[in-house]
């Protein structure tokens, strides 16, 4: 199965700055000056943005001459279910615009919906649904910062099928409305 994801450089940069562990295994951060690569959740001092490269695959980053960080140990699988969770999260990252159900996600990886939800929650601390909501809101926040799309266009572009649900989830995850978020982002620039 293809586990590559479609995140822009800036989106990946935001994930490493936030030390977001939900993206561990989906990409690796390589620091050109030290020749070390890390997980997105690594708590080590953050490098300058110009010194960073991102890789989707551990073998690819090692072939490029980088060695594993001793602090976050990206080469070590911390769970026997890591590959399954990586496959599910990559699927969610790719298909976030689609109408996804737990049954559909579970059939993609070949396990029961109940087992998937239990394993996913055990490994990530959240359900596939809340993880999908987080992906969609991250994409919406990126579009709010970088485009002039209307809020409604962004709602549908990021896979939400109900504006009220979009507003509710956006407010829960970002602690403000999409309009407030956009105005804060434009003021910062």
Domain 9-68 has CATH 3.40.10.10: yes
What pLDDT does residue 61 have?
A: 92
Do 83 and 110 meet the contact criterion of CB atoms below 8 Å apart?
no
What pLDDT does residue 138 have?
A: 93
* 155 belongs to the catalytic site: no
Question: Half-sphere exposure of 108 toward its Cβ, with a 13 Å CA cutoff?
Answer: 22
9-68 against 81-189: fold identical: no
Domain ranges of the chain: 9-68, 81-189
List pLDDT tens digits, range 143-187: 999 999 999 999 999 999 999 999 999 999 999 999 999 988 766
* 72 belongs to the catalytic site: yes
Q: Which residues contact 36 (CB under 8 A, 6 or more apart)?
A: 30, 66, 67, 68, 69
Residue of 19, 69, 155, 176 marked catalytic:
69
Q: Which helix H or strand E contains 142, and what residues bound it?
A: helix 128-146
List pLDDT tens digits, range 114-155: 999 999 988 888 999 999 999 999 999 999 999 999 999 999
What is the pLDDT confidence band of residue 6, given thresholds at 50, 70 and 90? confident
From the DSSP assignment, how many helices (H) and strands (E) are in the chain? 9, 4
Evaluate if residue 55 carries a pLDDT over 60. yes
* 42 belongs to the catalytic site: yes
* 19 belongs to the catalytic site: no
List pLDDT tens digits, range 81-125: 778 888 899 899 999 999 999 999 999 999 999 999 999 988 888
Q: How far apart are CA 151 and CA 153, in angstroms?
A: 5
Give me the CATH topology for the region 81-189: Arc Repressor Mutant, subunit A (1.10.10)
What pLDDT does residue 1 have?
A: 44
List pLDDT tens digits, range 18-42: 888 778 878 899 999 999 999 998 9
Q: Which residues contact 87 (CB under 8 A, 6 or more apart)?
A: 1, 3, 108, 109
Least confident range of 47-61, 64-78, 84-98, 122-136: 64-78
């Amino acid at each position: 199965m293809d586990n590559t994801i479609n995140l822009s450089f800036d989106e990946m940069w935001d994930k490493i700055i936030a030390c977001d562990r939900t993206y561990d295994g989906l990409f690796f951060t390589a620091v050109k000056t030290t020749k070390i690569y890390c997980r997105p959740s690594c708590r080590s001092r953050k490098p300058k943005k110009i010194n960073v490269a991102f890789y989707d695959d551990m073998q690819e980053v090692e072939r490029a001459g980088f060695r594993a960080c001793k602090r976050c140990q990206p080469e070590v699988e911390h769970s026997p279910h890591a590959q399954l969770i990586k496959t599910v999260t990559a699927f969610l990252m790719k298909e976030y615009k689609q109408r996804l159900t737990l049954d559909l996600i579970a059939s993609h990886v070949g396990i029961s919906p109940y087992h998937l939800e239990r394993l996913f929650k055990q490994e990530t601390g959240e359900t596939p649904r809340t993880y999908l909501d987080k992906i969609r809101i991250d994409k919406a926040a990126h579009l709010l910062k970088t485009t002039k799309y209307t809020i409604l266009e962004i709602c549908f572009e990021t896979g939400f099928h109900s504006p009220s649900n979009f507003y509710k989830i956006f407010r829960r995850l970002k602690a403000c409305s999409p309009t407030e978020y956009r105005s804060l982002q434009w003021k910062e620039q």
